[in-house]
Amino acid sequence: MAERRDLHLTPEQVQAIAALRDERKVSIAPAIADHRQRAKDMTRIKRLLAETPMTVPEIAAALSIPADKTLWYVTALKRYDGLLEGAKDDDYFRYSLPAGAKASDED
């Protein structure tokens, strides 16, 4: 990590910051792992929906993700990535990726 020279930290402050980082490594690592898993799951959902519109239960079954997490992911994708809500199929909406949308960051 680049050192910020404009802060003018004392050696004691630098040492205190280093100690905090070491102390928090235990809780930061699982949070990073959770974030990476969420990103992978959401990418898998977008790739699946790029192929065919699906309901939340269908997505959950196809990707072996719990339905409650799948619903959370779909809600987030709808709000922030423009996932489209289609016609209702029984009690569930069919979701799809908009035409021209990227299914992953690598595309």
Q: What is the pLDDT of residues 24-58, one digit of tens each?
A: 989 988 999 999 999 999 999 999 999 999 999 99
- DSSP 3-state of 17: helix
Confidence of residue 98 (pLDDT cuts 50, 70, 90): confident
Helix (H) or strand (E) holding 95: strand 92-96
Confidence of residue 3 (pLDDT cuts 50, 70, 90): low
- DSSP 3-state of 96: strand
The mean per-residue pLDDT over the stretch 55-63 comes to 97
Domains of the chain, with CATH numbers? 11-96 (1.10.10)
Residue type present at position 15: Q
Q: What is the pLDDT of residues 82-95, one digit of tens each?
A: 899 999 988 999 99
Cβ–Cβ < 8 Å for 101, 84? no
pLDDT of residue 2: 56
